[in-house]
Amino acid sequence: MTDRASVYEVSPRDGLQNERATVPLRSKLRLIEALVRAGLARVEITSFVSPKWIPQLADADDVAQHAKPPEGVTFSALCPNARGLERARAAGLREVAVFVSASETHNRKNVNKSVADTLAAFEEVVGPALAAGLRVRGYVSTVWGCPYEGEVDPKRALVIARKLADMGCYQVSLGDTIGVGTPLQTQRILRMMLGELSADRIALHMHDTRGTALANVLVGLEMGVRDFDASVGGLGGCPYAPGAAGNLATEDLVYMLHGMGVHTGIDLERLVEAGRVAESVVGRSLPGKVHQAGVRSLKA
């Protein structure tokens, strides 16, 4: 087992898109700064989607214009169409992410199109983004299950992941959107994926709705995956996926990785501080385990 993993932080996007109240711009910037201070080198800071669909992120242009990444840090944002790419480029982003679901019903609820039409529409995002020198990441949602259709045939995700990689996405993040995945299922899905894509082109995006996210990450680690999405404090969800409460908490992920001797470049104490910032920004307590336990208690 190599001893490095990369954490892709999604709290300012996946976290805040699901909050009832819209967080003010300055609070979003405070959260992003705290995440960078903790050593997170990849942060998804917002979404360039329709403000009618996701009003919580309607200030995406301002967020991306004000949050300038220091050297070595990459800020990214979701981008469903050409309009989104135009906005991302105007704000100076160097990376964007496209997203599509493995299940038809979730995809329609999320972006109002069939899976085939969504993939076709990416032609106007991925190619032009790459031509403009941006990096593009791809997401496949509902790989472990769909809130509308139940179980999803993993072959659907496989075909989509292959297409995203062929389009030029440097990495495909596989989403357990509603946090239903279990370890043997993860093993089956990854075994299939790893027949198509090398491990460094796969990331895991686990929601922790049922407490199985870390167990699934462990399976991924053992199978060679080294890229994991997480959200500080466990903030997050998907407004078009009922029950998609809470992404895997970044502190829980980093605590486990460090304990296994897998380096991340993240300072866990500062990460816990970033979790406190997240909590104050949303004005409610967050579910992450390490967030709740704190790190100092280890030394007591």
Catalytic residue numbers? Answer: 238
Burial 277-299 (b: 16+ CB within 10 A, else e): bbbebbeeebbbebbbeebeeee
Minimum separation from the CB atom of position 113 to Mg ion (A): 19
State yes or no: residue 35 binds ligand HMG (CB under 6 A).
Answer: no
Give the count of alpha carbons within 13 A of 8, CB side only: 26
Nearer CB in complex with ligand HMG: 95/268 = 95
- Residue closest to 98 by CA, chosen among 136, 133, 131: 136
Nearer CB in complex with ligand HMG: 3/92 = 92
241-300: contacts with ligand HMG (CB under 6 A): none
Out of 6, 22, 27, 50, which residue is the one contacting ligand HMG (CB under 6 A)?
Answer: 50
201-240: contacts with ligand HMG (CB under 6 A): 205, 207, 238, 240
Angle at 10 between CA 69 and CA 84, to 5 degrees: 75
State yes or no: residue 14 binds Mg ion (CB under 5 A).
Answer: yes
Site string for ligand HMG, 137-176 (x = CB under 6 A): --x-x---------------------------------x-
- Between the CA atoms of 68, 255, 288 and 224, what dihedral angle is there, to the nearest 10 degrees? 80
Mark the segment that binds ligand HMG (CB under 6 A) among 29-37, 81-89, 257-265, 279-287: 81-89
Distance CA 253, CA 260 (A): 11
Minimum separation from the CB atom of position 71 to ligand HMG (A): 27
Distance CA 245, CA 262 (A): 27
Out of 171, 177, 185, 264, which residue is the one contacting ligand HMG (CB under 6 A)?
Answer: 177
Largest Cα–Cα distance in the chain?
Answer: 56
Burial 164-181 (b: 16+ CB within 10 A, else e): bbebebebbbbbbbbbbb
- Chain centre to alpha carbon of residue 57: 15
Mark the segment that binds ligand HMG (CB under 6 A) among 42-50, 62-70, 157-165, 282-290: 42-50
Minimum separation from the CB atom of position 231 to Mg ion (A): 8
Site string for ligand HMG, 93-112 (x = CB under 6 A): ------x----------xxx
Distance CA 8, CA 23 (A): 21
Q: What does 120-183 look like in DSSP terms, one character per residue?
A: HHTHHHHHHHHHTT-EEEEEEE-SS-BTTTBS--HHHHHHHHHHHHHHT-SEEEEEETTS---H
Minimum separation from the CB atom of position 3 to ligand HMG (A): 27
296 binds, among ligand HMG, Mg ion, none (CB under 5 to 8 A by kind): none
Mark the segment that binds ligand HMG (CB under 6 A) among 76-84, 148-156, 260-268, 280-288: 76-84
Nearer CB in complex with Mg ion: 15/69 = 15
Instruction: Answer left, alpha or beta for residue 283, where phi above 0 means left and psi between -120 and 50 means alpha.
Output: left
Q: List residues binding Mg ion (CB under 5 A).
A: 14
Binding site for ligand HMG (CB under 6 A): 14, 17, 47-50, 52-54, 78, 80-81, 83-84, 87, 99, 110-112, 139, 141, 175, 177, 205, 207, 238, 240
